[in-house]
Structure 1
Amino acid sequence: MSTLSAPLSSEPSASEPIVSISGLRGIVGQQLRPEAVARYVMIASSLWQKGPIVLSRDSRPSGAIFRHAALAALMGCGREVIDIGIAPTPTVGIVIRRLGAAGGVQISGSHNPPDQNGIKLLDENGKMLPPALAEAVKDRYFSAFQAYSQPPHVPGKCTSFPMATLWHLRAVEELVDVDRVRRRGFRVVLDANGGAGGPLGIRLLEDLGCQVFGIGTLPDGNFHHPPEPLPENLGEVAAQVAKLGADLGFCQDPDADRLVIIDSSGQCLSEEHTLSICLDHILRSRKGPVVINCATSMVNEWIAAQYGVECIRVPVGEANVVQGMLRHRAVFGGEGNGGPIDPRVGFIRDSFLGMALVLEAMASQGVSVRELVNRFPPCVMKKLKLPLPPGSLGGVFARLRAAFPTAQVDASDGLRLSWSDRWLLCRASNTEPILRIIAEAQSPEALDELCGKAQSVVQEAIATPQAD
């Protein structure tokens, strides 16, 4: 029986792709194969409403293979497909809404290593599938659901659409004072790292009057450093920012939904600072609730308090943040991985939005990006991974609660313990037998004390387990 109409397995295994609310991903040729992509997309098609589907991919070479698999699957389901080619993920969301499409397929490995790729599914509102719908796709994928039972009476068709990035450009530029930014004549390094964001990034920055020094702006999938734009991966780019005398540098991930900033001295800012700078700038002129995930810096809570607005935390995951923004009618939101979200542009993390807001903040306040960050309270963050034997999670959480009796407890996504000046989040990985620990405090000493105690408690709980 074809793998398109039969389960690949009764449950996820090491040989199958990882499926979560964020989509599908895996190592190309091992976990991720064309038939897996076709089955996944056909299942999504069975849950979308009637209407065309927008198809796109980032610049990874394997994306061309999976584009054909996804296209064949959609057309085989009788869908009209609007193919926008290589494009950033936030662009896909804008096109879906503008064209009134039923959903979208973005083929992207996101920030993961070059040997991986994946699929992101979007709904009719141009946002990631809501968690409940994403879980339905996952359940059907690992079940006996017949993804393709019979051909349609009329096969689907495919049309190209060249206006996608222009729509995105205009949507971002409408939010900022373009003339004010142009008058500053910023010198900017853009590191697109061979990803999908290079062409639009260059166009946006030039429209904003910047002198642009591009690195890896051709979307050819040739990554000159690891795809995740973290400070430890950006040493050469940072050196170029300082050497060129640039005002700042912008670094994107391959599908351009994350943004990391480098200051004029060649120092990388934390990826957490992207959202904080944008949030502070937005709230100066537009008050309202903001939504972040439970692993994002408490600097954002401090910023919200300065402007007298509510900051709501939700479980980790872009889909959860967006659902929270809709529920609370938030004016802004995002995640601390460098992903700001403004509902006026779309409900997708957007590096281009981030670039425009950061430049407008610098221009309107007449300061450098480093001066913007220096206004925030000092906070430091640490991330740990610890082995997690099966059945030990409940005992670990119980011991942590007992060890920190004064903490405010949030169990909506793992276990989050918080105080006014620090917090600790423990979550079991969805893909590995490990416990992820994320913590933040106002000084390195306080952070080390918090993490050290938590690590000892976890290790003791694992060594002397109790019923989960």
Structure 2
Amino acid sequence: MSVAAAQVGAQAGGFHGAGRQRRPVAVVGRDPRASGEFLEAAVVAGLASSGVDVLRLGVLPTPAVAYLTTALGADMGVMISASHNPAPDNGIKFLTRGGYKLPDAVENEIEQRLGEKWERPVGASVGRVREAYGEADRYVSHVLSTTDVRLDGLDVVIDCAHGAAHLVAPEALRRAGATVETIGVRPDGLNINAGVGSTHLDKLRQIVVSRNADVGIAYDGDADRCLAVSHTGEIIDGDQIMAVLAMAMHAEGTLSGDTVVATVMSNLGFKIALKGAGVDVVETAVGDRYVLEAMRAGGYNLGGEQSGHVLMLDHATTGDGLLTSLHLLAVVARQKRPLAELASVMTRLPQVLVNVKGVDRTKTSVPELSAAVAAAESELGETGRVLIRPSGTEPMIRVMVEAASAEQAESLAGRLADVVRTACV
């Protein structure tokens, strides 16, 4: 694993350094996974061996690495993390100058170059490595500078998933004025996302209700997303968070084009609510990179996914859980209304997702399935919708149905799944 990571680092460094008149600079961060300790060493070694100077940021969220790539004038950023996945998993994310994720074509080119021989720098041409652990405060200060709304009087419980935000998130929200109770802030390299964080909300809900706190916030392992919990223990998902932010920005005149970008998986209730408020919704394929592409192409400043991965391009180049939570809490503080009331601007329609495995994912347009989908859509009318989507990596087709009632959604999803099993083989 370490050898492969070093090779990836070397090839990425060579790619970014090609044709430059000066030595390129990379910033490298990681989440607290045990494997990140040696993967970081390998990636840094690969980068330096290719002639790149490296600033080691230590444990920081992915959005912090993206921000610092720009703030420190680096040519590239590297984040070692597997996000919301369990501790044994890990991965390497590359960011371009400016803090954006690498395009697919560039990632593919770097991958294709693995194992190729090329002339490595020697002597004084190799990169140098230095620590830049103190840059975390620069990121926190940046996030706090994006709003002038104080959070004084708000009692907030935050769950940092034993992940990359375990230091910066409590620091930022306390500096903003909130009273902060924390869970998931003792990473040991093995407990990241283990029963805590945005994919495990039961503990946060329990503490918020028992403490009578105003809001709960849950980040994932690399803190590029967040979900929330109201004072009643209700889960507030990414669609609802975007709806609250969009309504507030629309009222303030700061929502670019009066438009929000979301994926096809966003709940129909989200789109109905925003349409009723005079806000358009642009839909993309599932994936934050597709949301980002549409936002940049259309000049929009708010978009995201139901998972809580929210992009606010006025302030960041990638999803940022801390930034999102700060602005969500700012709306609560400014309007002096409970989060549950704010989130009620949209009604989530019952949504059922069935993953049909062991089928040919290329056959989503076979006549039998198309006819079944048309019949389901006719039954739903304007009160629901159907989405048939192939998995990007597995022999699986995803069937999603939204309807006015959970019973109808489950019934239609089951019938469509049966058609997929027989027609898509």
Are 1:353 and 2:320 an aligned pair? Answer: no
Change (3 A) 1:339 1:224: closer
1:159 to 130, 134, 139: 130
Are 1:189 and 2:157 an aligned pair? Answer: yes
The 8 Å contact of residues 76 and 94 in structure 2, kept in 1 or not, is answered as yes
Query: How many matched pairs?
Result: 413
2:415 to 445, 448, 453: 453
Higher mean C-alpha displacement, 51-60 vs 395-404: 395-404
TM-score when scaled to structure 2? 0.89
Bigger helix fraction = 2
Partner of 1:5 in structure 2?
none
Partner of 2:167 in structure 1?
199
**Aligned Cα RMSD in Å?**
2.5
In structure 2, distance between residues paired with 1:339 and 1:250: 13
Partner of 2:362 in structure 1?
393
Residue 398 of structure 1 and its aligned partner are, at CA, apart by 4.2
Residue 94 of structure 1 and its aligned partner are, at CA, apart by 0.6
The 8 Å contact of residues 92 and 104 in structure 1, kept in 2 or not, is answered as yes
The 8 Å contact of residues 129 and 319 in structure 1, kept in 2 or not, is answered as no
Structure 2 stretches lacking a partner, 5+ long: none
2:100 to 104, 127, 133: 127
Partner of 1:176 in structure 2?
147
Partner of 1:240 in structure 2?
207
In structure 2, distance between residues paired with 1:398 and 1:226: 43
In structure 1, distance between residues paired with 2:293 and 2:37: 32
The 8 Å contact of residues 269 and 349 in structure 2, kept in 1 or not, is answered as yes
Q: Structure 1 vs Structure 2: percent identity of aligned residues?
A: 27
2:306 to 336, 342, 358: 336
| Secondary structure, counterpart of 2:374 in structure 1 | coil
In structure 2, distance between residues paired with 1:300 and 1:397: 30
Change (3 A) 1:453 1:194: same
Residue 383 of structure 1 and its aligned partner are, at CA, apart by 2.4
Residue 61 of structure 1 and its aligned partner are, at CA, apart by 1.3
Residue 219 of structure 1 and its aligned partner are, at CA, apart by 4.3
| Secondary structure, counterpart of 2:397 in structure 1 | strand
Partner of 1:435 in structure 2?
397
Q: What letter is aligned with 1:109?
A: A
In structure 1, distance between residues paired with 2:171 and 2:29: 20
Change (3 A) 1:290 1:47: farther
Partner of 2:11 in structure 1?
43
Partner of 2:61 in structure 1?
88
In structure 1, distance between residues paired with 2:332 and 2:267: 22
Matches for 1:388-427 after TM superposition, within 5 Å:
388-390=358-360, 393-394=362-363, 397-405=366-374, 420-427=382-389
The 8 Å contact of residues 378 and 442 in structure 1, kept in 2 or not, is answered as no
Change (3 A) 1:149 1:228: farther
TM-score when scaled to structure 1? 0.81
In structure 1, distance between residues paired with 2:40 and 2:214: 38
Residue 372 of structure 1 and its aligned partner are, at CA, apart by 1.3
Structure 1 stretches lacking a partner, 5+ long: 1-32, 409-417
Partner of 2:290 in structure 1?
320
Partner of 1:252 in structure 2?
219
In structure 2, distance between residues paired with 1:341 and 1:379: 24
| Secondary structure, counterpart of 2:346 in structure 1 | coil
